[in-house]
């Protein structure tokens, strides 16, 4: 079982660990956000096209019996 620390010590530790974090620059954040949005758009197009293709194929197969 982990030893208990008092809340004040815990907050000091959290603050010191947060100070060690290397935060991204504004430019890095903007570029990353744009890349994520581009990839989401590409994935949406892919899944839309795949859905449409499968819909056409299934409709074709189901209409063969009639």
Tell me the pLDDT band of 46, cut-offs 50, 70 and 90.
very high
Tokens representing residue 30 in the block: 């903007």
Q: CA 44 to CA 34: how far, in whole Å?
A: 15
| 24 Cβ contact list (under 8 Å, min separation 6) | 32
Tokens representing residue 63 in the block: 């209409």
Residue 66 has a pLDDT of 67
- What is the separation of C-alpha 1 from the centre of its chain, rounded to a whole number of angstroms? 34
Give the global pTM: 0.66
Tell me the pLDDT band of 4, cut-offs 50, 70 and 90.
confident
């Amino acid at each position: 079982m982990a030893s208990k620390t008092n809340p004040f010590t815990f907050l000091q530790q959290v603050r010191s660990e947060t100070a060690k974090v290397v935060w991204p620059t504004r430019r890095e954040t903007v570029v990353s956000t744009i890349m994520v949005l581009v990839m989401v758009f590409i994935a949406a197009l892919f899944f839309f096209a795949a859905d449409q293709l499968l819909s056409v194929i299934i409709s074709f197969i189901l209409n063969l019996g009639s």
